[in-house]
Amino acid sequence: MCRVRKNIEGELYSMNYADAVAFNTDPIEKKPLYHFLPGTLSFSVAAAGCNLRCDFCQNWRISQHKPYECFKSISTTLYPEEIVERADMRGAESISYTYSEPAIFFEYAYETSKLAHQKGLKNIFVTNGFISLDAIEKISPYLDAANVDLKYFSEGLYADKSGGELRPVLDSIEKMKKLGVWIEITTLIIPGVNDSPDEFNKIASYIASLDKNIPWHISRFFPDYKCKYKKPTPYESMKKAAKSGKEAGLKYVYMGNVNKAAITCCPACSSELIQRAGFDITENRISEKGSCPDCGEIIKGVWA
């Protein structure tokens, strides 16, 4: 299904190794990660392919193609050593495996992540979470953070809309958290698909049951790929999702793709701690120890 593995005389080969179809230096807030080294740069890299088939995919031009179909004019042979070198030269503090699903280019990400750690760089997965637990265990010594896309809280929706399953995604989130990987979760709110109060409540309650300090990013949908006929997510739906998160006890709920600044507030005294303008940090008042300067509350995250 992923279309990036090939059986050649009984051996399974990765067909997208070192075949970078996208690479760029991004603000880490773009991943989105709001509680992991805010204000820093992350060198981002992707190879073609995906293990899900979402009609609403935002990066379908690279994720829903075979490597050799995927814009060879922009595809670049980029080996792990070169990725680490470019990240270092551009002043990045981390490398993000993103844009497409990192599990699809796992060997590539794994070899790069080992070299990155030797250079003092952090490693980040921006992932749909549809990954085997063995793979997570293998990369865990080098994986520092992950933003996991929890699309729905329904096995039926995962099967019908994405060709996947819910349980492996939940298992991945729980496994990464257990292994000490910093986790943030994103849900793209799609009108008529996962925008019911029941879905909001189930996702929010699940995250809260793991840890109320896990940031939940609620992202606004815009028409794309096979869902160009749909309308963008109404702002009212975004507010309802955010309300569900707060009612579940989540301390950090953010709305993305909306014309509104994302502010990190202290959950104890409500002081505004991190001000953002788009992907830029305009003010960060969190102390080096990760606490609120006004009341001393510990703000969970990786700040240095």
pLDDT at 259: 82
Q: What's the pTM?
A: 0.95
pLDDT at 65: 67
pLDDT at 263: 96
70 shares its domain with 136: yes
144 shares its domain with 272: no
166 shares its domain with 300: no
125 shares its domain with 161: yes
Residues near 94 by Cβ (< 8 Å), separated by ≥ 6? Answer: 28, 37, 40, 41, 42, 43, 87, 116, 121, 122, 123, 124, 144, 145
* CATH number where 114 lies: 3.20.20.70
203 shares its domain with 227: yes
75 shares its domain with 119: yes
pLDDT at 79: 97
147 shares its domain with 69: yes
| Distance set, CA 276 to CA 22, 50, 74, 172, 217 (Å) | 26, 31, 32, 30, 14
Sheet holding 76-77, edge to edge: 76-77, 19-27, 41-47, 94-97, 122-127, 145-149, 182-189, 216-220, 253-256
| Averaged pLDDT, groups of 10, the chain, 304 residues long | 88 91 95 98 94 86 66 75 98 97 96 98 98 98 98 97 96 98 98 96 98 98 83 96 98 93 96 95 94 97 94
pLDDT at 225: 76
92 shares its domain with 118: yes
The token duo for 103 is 């599990």
231 shares its domain with 273: no
81: containing domain: 5-260
pLDDT at 64: 75
- In the block, tokens 């250079």 appear at 119
| Phi and psi based region of residue 72 (left: phi greater than 0; alpha: psi -120 to 50; beta: remaining) | alpha
23 shares its domain with 112: yes
Count: domains in the chain: 2
138 shares its domain with 274: no
Is residue 131 within 8 A of residue 105, CB to CB? The reply is no
pLDDT at 74: 58
The token duo for 261 is 């600044």
